[in-house]
Amino acid sequence: MKKVLSIFSFKLFLIIALFFFLVFIYAKLGFNHWPLVEAIDRPVLESGWSQPVSVGINTASWESGAYISSDGNTIYYSFYPGNLVKDRADGKIKTDLNIYYSEKPFNKSKVHTLSEAKWFENGVMVVGSDFYYASDRNHLGINDIYKNGSLIINTPNQSEKDPHYCATRDELYFDVGGVIYYLTDNQTVALTAAVNNGGQNIQPFLTKDCEQLYFVSNRGDGIHKILRSSRLSNNLWGEPELVVSSKYGVESPSLTDDNKTLFFVQILKSAKDELNADILYVIREE
Predicted confidence at residue 81, as pLDDT, reads: 86
Residue-wise pLDDT for 132-173, tens only, equals: 999 999 888 899 999 999 999 998 889 999 999 999 999 999
Predicted confidence at residue 20, as pLDDT, reads: 64
pTM to 2 decimal places: 0.87
Residue-wise pLDDT for 18-51, tens only, equals: 766 655 554 455 555 778 888 889 999 999 999 9
Residues near 215 by beta carbon (within 8 Å), at least 6 away in sequence = 180, 195, 201, 202, 203, 204, 205, 226, 227, 228, 229, 240, 253
Inter-CA distances, 33 with 39, 60, 250, 252, Å: 10, 8, 19, 23
Predicted confidence at residue 39, as pLDDT, reads: 83
Instruction: Show me where the domains of the chain are located.
Output: 1-32, 34-283
Residue-wise pLDDT for 179-233, tens only, equals: 999 998 889 999 999 999 989 999 999 999 999 999 999 999 999 999 999 999 9
**118 vs 209, residue with greater confidence:** 209
Which CATH code for domain 34-283?
A: 2.120.10.30
